[in-house]
Amino acid sequence: MSLPQTPSFRLEGKRALVTGASSGIGLAAAVALGEAGAHVVLVARGAVALEAVTAQMTAAGMSAQSLQLDITDIAATQAAVAAHGPFDVLVNSAGLARHSAAVETTPADYDAVTDLNVKAAYFLTRNVGRGLIEAGRGGSLINISSQMGHVGGIDRAVYCATKHALEGMTKSMAIEWGPKGIRVNTLCPTFIRTPLAEQTLAIPERRAWIESMIKLGRVGEIEDMMGPIVFLASDASALMTGTSLLIDGGWTAD
């Protein structure tokens, strides 16, 4: 009898595209994929922070390059993906939140959040998927969703709506592209200590409520996302598509 072999978590020879890569979960994704051997193209709107992260990764021996881009510019994003791809791995971590009571939601806030979290995510994923299909290659496309793609949240009607939409989009693309060897999944974190989350974590009563909901009793750190990202990007998750990997400390276990 021959013993089974654990599929590889390594990503040598793979090209990865990471959006929102200059901070937070996107930064963690870029470093995790770089450490696993992928060549990482880091995307963000701000050039200074993006170049600094890319330089640090390169100095640490990783293969990385920066690409300043606003993914809400659909035409520019399509051109950039075509020029730099095809990409074996996508981690779409660019996201926006503008929290308010539902009765106070403004059209401007609604449009800003949905334009990035849904429309830009849709066309970015479509463009990376199209590149793989044209190249006749499989790949792993990962959208950073949220536990709020599975539950509701106070003052988060718009944000929750966008993440629920992202879950549905991911499932549909996974069904379409599965026969072509392209996997599409979401990662769904709880509150992770990032610049985006600080607006909530800075309010003592909100932080106390959050920690009471997380069964492990603590807010997440960006390092908590790095292993799951490599898992979904690699052959270790080869039979996973159209699903969500919840990194929520037990929030949704109720």
SS3 of 43, please? Answer: strand
pLDDT higher than threshold 90 for residue 200: no
Residues 6+ apart with CB under 8 A from 81: 17, 87, 124, 127, 128, 131
- How far apart, in Å, are the Cα atoms of 219 and each of 16, 46, 69? 28, 27, 30
Catalytic residue, chosen from 87, 122, 123, 159, is 159
* Structure tokens given for 107: 């059209």
* Structure tokens given for 205: 């009563």
Is 159 in the active site?
Answer: yes
Decide if 220 contacts 163 (C-beta within 8 A). no
SS3 of 187, please? Answer: strand
Q: How far apart are the C-alpha atoms of 147 and 187, rounded to whole Å?
A: 9
pLDDT at residue 98, as a whole number? 87
Residues 6+ apart with CB under 8 A from 246: 147, 150, 188, 252
Q: How confident is the model at residue 206 (pLDDT cuts 50, 70, 90)?
A: confident
Cα atoms in the Cβ-side hemisphere of radius 13 Å centred on 16:
37
pLDDT tens by residue, 129-177: 999 999 999 999 999 999 999 999 888 899 999 999 999 999 999 999 9
Mean pLDDT value of segment 235-253: 97
Cα atoms in the Cβ-side hemisphere of radius 13 Å centred on 141:
34
* Structure tokens given for 61: 């021996």
> What homologous superfamily does CATH list for 15-253?
NAD(P)-binding Rossmann-like Domain (3.40.50.720)
Q: Which amino acid is at 135?
A: A
Peptide bond into 189 cis (omega under 30): no
pLDDT higher than threshold 90 for residue 254: no
- How far apart, in Å, are the Cα atoms of 233 and each of 73, 218, 230, 239? 26, 26, 5, 12
Q: Say if strands 15-19 and 89-92 run parallel, antiparallel, or are unpaired.
A: parallel
H or E segment and range at residue 135: helix 121-135
pLDDT at residue 47, as a whole number? 94
Q: How confident is the model at residue 66 (pLDDT cuts 50, 70, 90)?
A: very high
pLDDT at residue 187, as a whole number? 98
pLDDT higher than threshold 90 for residue 195: no
- Sketch the domain layout of the chain as residue ranges: 15-253
Residue 3, exposed/middle/buried by CB under 10 A (0-12, 13-18, 19+)? exposed
The model carries a pTM of 0.95
pLDDT at residue 225, as a whole number? 98
Decide if 248 contacts 239 (C-beta within 8 A). no
pLDDT tens by residue, 2-19: 999 999 999 999 999 999
pLDDT at residue 233, as a whole number? 98
pLDDT higher than threshold 80 for residue 224: yes
